Structure 1
């Protein structure tokens, strides 16, 4: 049994399930703010991140749609209002070190929205076969490819290229995309999220029971993590 003094000197282990979609810019911002909050929490916590599937647009066709007019229709906004929203989003991305403007050469292609189910299958596979760190590396590669390089995230070859660039096995990933059990696992995770009340992203679920919503400031995340660690460590009365 670990004595109280030894326990207090060790960071408290925390598992954070981040419900997220590759199409969500605030997921990229929120993750970076969350990790900065984990740093601010200092030695109080030892955080492990896992990415959970949430499809913002599950009925999106494989050929995709252009982002600005799609968002204008979806949220009943004018094109100018959507462009203003994106400017605010881009500023938030710059602030956390994830600029979302076109990073490639030449004229920027249209910013698109894509179907992300296959991306979630590969993230589920990466977690199951390689672990949380490798899954996070793949998630970040997908976010960068979508927002900064404007790659077609619904395209199988694009996804497998990202897998390979992360040092993971391309053939095994290709097999995972065709694996019905892996697909069912993603659907089951999505259902679990809905049943757990996940309706928006990013949502951070800490130790399976504490929910933190949205791209909050790092200080808010740090305070929440410290409080959760205190509650989790407190002896049952």
Structure 2
């Protein structure tokens, strides 16, 4: 596992955490398969940590493909268009990810829907105002990766938000405007400044960076290391 030590100034959070808390900042995109797996592994590692009650998980957005079409297309078609992958090659890659997801107990449809994720990521920022950003992100990913053809539909996004206590009108207001678009771009730029080239990207205690998804055991070791550093 490769950790990236933080060398530059960290611009978040706006408030200073208490010395007894360990912050875990995660950058992710809804359509990113490795984010979907990595978040599940990280969540499990945090739950198993003896310091779980003192760990604060914070989610940030990172749009991998701002040029993705707003129309919904099958994932294999999207991959073929974006990367020039042959259908058989794209299916084989996705099946490999599906097998990894199954090992984590996650649903994963190979030819799930794909579309531009800006609206979903803007809603993650709305979720942050209500204290449910990570849960909202995970709920949207669950819809997408389970193969729900309506995963990107406004009614679906409203329903998922309401399930987490976000008023339907608040979700609809975001979807009808450009609200939080600047916040999505700011999160992306911040991750790049910290050394991210893709997602998932995780920073522990504002000190240790983990590029990519690692195993639950590796996340556990990283949490222990970061805890020792901030309390050493």
Taking structure 2 as the reference length, what is the TM-score of the superposition?
A: 0.82
What is the deviation of 1:211?
A: 0.8
Q: 1:28 aligns with which of 36, 56, 59?
A: 36
The residue correspondences of 1:139-218 to structure 2 (distance < 5 A) are 139-178=137-176, 180=178, 182-218=180-216
The residue correspondences of 1:87-126 to structure 2 (distance < 5 A) are 87-101=95-109, 111-126=112-127
Structure ID, larger Rg: 1
Q: 2:230 matched to 1:232?
A: yes
What is the deviation of 1:86?
A: 1.3
Distance 1:151 1:206, change over 3 A: farther
Moved more, 203-212 or 70-79: 70-79
Count how many residue pairs are aligned between Structure 1 and Structure 2.
214
Q: What is the Cα-based RMSD across aligned positions, in Å? A: 2.3
Given that 1:151 and 1:158 are in contact with CA atoms closer than 8 Å, whether structure 2 keeps it comes out as: no
Match of 2:135 in 1: 137
Match of 1:127 in 2: 128
Taking structure 1 as the reference length, what is the TM-score of the superposition?
A: 0.80
What is the deviation of 1:225?
A: 0.9
Distance 1:191 1:70, change over 3 A: same
> What is the DSSP-based 3-state SS (H/G/I as helix, E as strand, rest coil) of the residue aligned with 2:197?
coil
Distance 2:151 2:52 in 1: 37
Distance 2:113 2:230 in 1: 42
Distance 1:176 1:20, change over 3 A: same
Distance 1:71 1:149, change over 3 A: closer
Moved more, 45-54 or 112-121: 45-54
Distance 1:67 1:180 in 2: 26
What is the deviation of 1:181?
A: 5.0
Q: What are structure 2's unaligned runs of at least 5 residues?
A: 1-18
1:160-213, Cα deviation, whole Å (9 max, x unpaired): 122123332110222233454522222222222222222211111123332112
Distance 2:116 2:148 in 1: 14
Q: 2:64 matched to 1:56?
A: yes
Distance 1:228 1:68, change over 3 A: same
Distance 1:229 1:159, change over 3 A: same
> What is the DSSP-based 3-state SS (H/G/I as helix, E as strand, rest coil) of the residue aligned with 1:42?
coil
